[in-house]
Amino acid sequence: MLKKVSSILLVSALVTSLVAGCSPKQSTGGSESGGKKTYISIATGGPAGTYYPLGGAMAKIFNENVDGVTANAQSTGASIENIGLVSKGETEIAFVQNDITYYAFSGTESFEGKGKMENIRGMAMLYPELVQIVATSNSGIKSVEDLKGKKVAIGAPGSGVEANVRQVLAAHGMTYDDLGKADFLSFNEAADQLKNKQIDAAFLTAGVPTSAVTEVAQTSNIVVVPIASEKIAQLEKDYPFYTEVVIPKGTYKGQEADITTAAVMAMLVVPENLDENLAYNLTKSLFEKRQVIIDTHTRGNDIQLETALKGMPIEVHPGSQRYYDEKGVK
């Protein structure tokens, strides 16, 4: 009987040990500690956008350079969905437009009446996200005003793109009512409908080149529609996140001239309660191993330590700030 009880106790102890060993736990320093692993989810965007490949490159950096970390890039609905995931503690790092981050933190624009998301912090500013208006060449669209009466994709419902569309139209004295039809479509859906000539034009906000636009240009004749400088100046006055940028000629097949447009900034957002040492190590590896990102997408060239805090709309996470202080970044 004694042997039987001892055997039961031994098996019970082994099972308890195995369960404990398999439970995911966050280490305090982002390093291997007694076999503990830190699981990092990186919320990106759709596969046809810029966030997704960049998120994959960052996951590779973290997995290879931050001890004890297992990171994965997750495809999501991008900015507005991502900021909610961070605030609810459902992801550790998220790509978000800086205007959306500010709206969420301050409870304004699309977040008005929904409560402020004050438990988010900034990790790094990344690169300009350009408001791109792409039209079929046979639509006759050459300016924003020409969108009147046309079928236009305006981004997924509640997305950062959709907010940009409303603001760009407003700067031209227009609303959705001026369009023939406003379709709430994702990048992939908009690309497919442009190719099939089901819509006349689409708005996308992303780094260039954007794979969805490149894909359409390979099989269809497209026009990249400019936003006039005076309208961008109006946007800058109303919304300080915007700036004027240029889509260089040749960015897309058939684009024979530079195109002026407006841009916001892509950034990384993390939870307020992310471990400080872990945030430090993630930030450090991001910048010191960024060649991996450059090798993945041309936008990696824009991710630079010198501009990591330029346009930061919220408080920086203390772990990230510690790294910036060490490097003298202001």
267-304 per-position pLDDT tens digit:
999 999 999 999 999 999 999 999 999 999 989 999 99
CB neighbourhood size of 314 (10 A): 18
Which structure tokens are listed for 42? 């990186």
Q: What is the mean pLDDT of the chain?
A: 89
Residues 6+ apart with CB under 8 A from 245: 128, 130, 260, 261, 262, 263
CA separation for the pair 202, 155 (Å, rounded): 8
pLDDT exceeds 70 at position 134: yes
pLDDT exceeds 70 at position 2:
no
Look at residue 158 and tell me whether its pLDDT is greater than 50. yes
Q: Please give the average per-residue pLDDT across 19-48, as a whole number.
A: 63
Per-residue confidence band for 25, with pLDDT thresholds at 50, 70 and 90? very low
Confidence of residue 130 (pLDDT cuts 50, 70, 90): very high
Mean pLDDT of 205-220: 90
User: Whose CA is closest to 203, among 154, 240, 136, 239?
Assistant: 154
| Mean pLDDT within 243-248 | 92
**Does the reported pTM lie above 0.95?**
no
pLDDT over threshold 90, residue 316? yes
pLDDT at 49: 82
User: How deeply is 78 buried, as exposed, middle or buried, from its count of CB atoms within 10 A (0-12, 13-18, 19+)?
Assistant: buried
Please, which pLDDT band fits residue 30 given cuts at 50, 70 and 90? very low
Quick one: pLDDT band at residue 48, thresholds 50, 70, 90?
A: confident
- pLDDT reported for residue 211: 85
When pLDDT is cut at 50, 70 and 90, the band that residue 32 belongs to is very low
Q: Which of 8-17, 37-46, 135-144, 190-199 has the lowest mean pLDDT?
A: 8-17
3-class secondary structure, 63:
helix
Query: What confidence tier does 10 reach under pLDDT thresholds 50, 70, 90?
Result: very low
> pLDDT category, 110, cuts 50, 70, 90?
confident
Strand intervals (E) in 137-239: 151-153, 181-183, 201-206, 222-225
- Average pLDDT (36-63) is 94
pLDDT value at residue 35:
64
